[in-house]
């Protein structure tokens, strides 16, 4: 039985005001463990700002963001990452001159394991983990390749891998399939469905075909507020949603 306190993320009354303009206005949103939530809405609706608030890049004017039992609005960006929140920005931030393997290695959380010391066992453990993640992101055949030579889609996957290796309980992705080929989109849909097991995934996306394929639930934002929320089939038929977003 769900008790109402099992949410990975519980956002209540969240508001941010930029010089009196409320980009996010009294938002309530709850995301479960194992859930893949997609946030959609017109440009300027406040979608990216919600991610900025969750990851601490922007400070809330009012309201609460509970991640399990931790209040995130009081923490720094760095503390929020350490609490288990990973966020991917629209443009991939990978190290172009390093290999795929090295990019994953550099992202492996430091200080995990006994004193964070680099013993033989630890090196083997990191190596195993890197190969596992590389396979998950379709890059196991590219471990020694310089990241600069990857396709745009492969770079996006590498950055997802760099987050996955930190094993976040909440993973947030801002427009992950922008600029991807049809085939890469299909693979990304499969990847996202796989990685929401054991964690929560929050995705902002415009590609409705892609949204329909991945979303467990959809939240439609408009002018910093929730216009509609629920299953894609329901949200798609909502006259309010068609008027402000899907109709265009
Ligand atoms: P979306 O991602 O849905 O397109 P954003 O969250 O980027 O929308 O922006 C929502 C609104 O908030 C926009 O009108 C934007 O100009 C404004 N905004 C976002 N961040 C800031 C900021 N740091 N300072 C002032 N205005 C901002
Ligand atoms: Mg945005």
* Ligand 1 contacts CB of residue 51 (under 6 A): no
> What percentage of the chain has pLDDT greater than the value 70?
94
| Rounded-to-integer distance, Cα 75 and Cα 69, Å | 13
| pLDDT of amino acid 109 | 86
Give me the helices (H) in the chain, please: 47-54, 77-83, 100-107, 120-136, 152-164, 182-195, 208-214, 232-237, 239-241
Under the banding of pLDDT at 50, 70 and 90, the label for residue 189 is very high
* Ligand 1 contacts CB of residue 44 (under 6 A): yes
Q: In sequence order, which residues have a C-beta less than 8 Å from that of residue 239 and are 6 or more positions away?
A: none
Residues in the chain: 248
CB atoms near residue 94 (< 10 Å): 22
Write out pLDDT tens, residues 101-142: 999 999 998 765 555 566 777 788 899 999 999 999 999 999
| Rounded-to-integer distance, Cα 200 and Cα 65, Å | 15
| pLDDT of amino acid 3 | 45
Q: Is 191:138 a contact under the CB 8 Å cutoff?
A: yes
For ligand 2, a single-atom ion, which residues have Cβ within 5 Å?
A: 47-48
* Nearest atom in ligand 1 to 43's CA: 4
Q: Is 42:87 a contact under the CB 8 Å cutoff?
A: no
Q: Which ligand is nearest to the CA of 221?
A: 1
Under the banding of pLDDT at 50, 70 and 90, the label for residue 1 is very low
Rounded to the nearest angstrom, the distance between the alpha carbon of 121 and the centre of ligand 2 is 42
Q: Average per-residue pLDDT in the chain?
A: 92
Tell whether the model's pLDDT for residue 144 goes beyond 70. Answer: yes
* Ligand 1 contacts CB of residue 48 (under 6 A): yes
Closest CA to 72 of 90, 91, 52, 88: 52
| pLDDT of amino acid 120 | 75
| pLDDT of amino acid 68 | 94
| pLDDT of amino acid 89 | 78
Write out pLDDT tens, residues 62-115: 999 999 989 999 999 999 999 999 998 777 789 999 999 999 999 998 765 555
* Ligand 1 contacts CB of residue 18 (under 6 A): yes
Tokens 């693979």 appear where?
187
Q: What is the DSSP letter of 234?
A: H
Write out pLDDT tens, residues 195-246: 999 999 999 999 999 999 999 999 999 999 999 999 999 999 999 999 999 8
* Nearest atom in ligand 1 to 49's CA: 6
CB-side neighbour CA atoms (13 Å) of 243: 6
Tell whether the model's pLDDT for residue 4 goes beyond 60. Answer: no
Sheet holding 225-230, edge to edge: 85-88, 170-174, 200-204, 36-40, 217-222, 225-230
- Cα→Cα distances 18→15, 46, 159, Å: 10, 12, 30
**Closest residue by CA, ligand 1 atom 20:** 49
Cα-Cα-Cα-Cα dihedral sign, residues 67, 168, 175, 16:
positive
CB atoms near residue 174 (< 10 Å): 19
Q: Which ligand is nearest to the CA of 39?
A: 1
Rounded to the nearest angstrom, the distance between the alpha carbon of 58 and the centre of ligand 2 is 14
* Ligand 1 contacts CB of residue 20 (under 6 A): no
Write out pLDDT tens, residues 21-56: 999 999 999 999 999 999 999 999 999 999 999 999
Mean pLDDT of 144-164: 96
The best mutation among 44, 176, 226 to test binding of ligand 1, ranked by most ligand atoms within 8 Å of the C-beta, falls on 44
């Amino acid at each position: 039985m769900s008790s109402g306190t099992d949410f990975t993320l519980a956002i209540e009354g969240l508001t941010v005001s930029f010089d009196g303009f409320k980009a996010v206005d009294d938002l309530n949103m709850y995301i479960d463990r194992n859930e893949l939530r997609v946030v959609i809405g017109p440009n300027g609706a406040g979608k990216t700002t919600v991610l900025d608030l969750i990851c601490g890049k922007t400070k809330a004017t009012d309201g609460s963001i509970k991640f399990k039992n931790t209040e995130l609005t009081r923490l720094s960006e760095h503390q929020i990452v350490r609490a288990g929140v990973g966020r991917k920005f629209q443009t991939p931030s990978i190290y172009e001159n390093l290999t795929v393997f090295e990019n994953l290695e550099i992202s492996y959380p430091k200080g995990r394991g006994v004193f964070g010391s680099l013993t033989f066992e630890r090196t083997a453990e990191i190596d195993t983990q890197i190969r596992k993640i590389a396979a998950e992101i379709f890059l196991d055949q590219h471990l020694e390749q310089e990241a600069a030579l990857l396709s745009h889609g492969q770079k996006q996957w590498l950055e997802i891998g760099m987050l996955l290796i930190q094993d976040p309980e909440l993973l947030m992705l801002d427009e992950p399939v922008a600029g991807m080929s049809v085939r890469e989109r299909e693979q990304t849909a499969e990847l996202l469905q796989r990685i929401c097991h054991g964690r929560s995934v929050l995705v902002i996306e415009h590609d409705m075909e892609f949204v329909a394929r991945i979303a467990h639930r959809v939240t439609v934002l408009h002018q910093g507020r929730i216009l509609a929320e629920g299953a894609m089939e329901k949200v798609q038929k909502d006259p309010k949603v068609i008027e402000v977003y899907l109709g265009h």
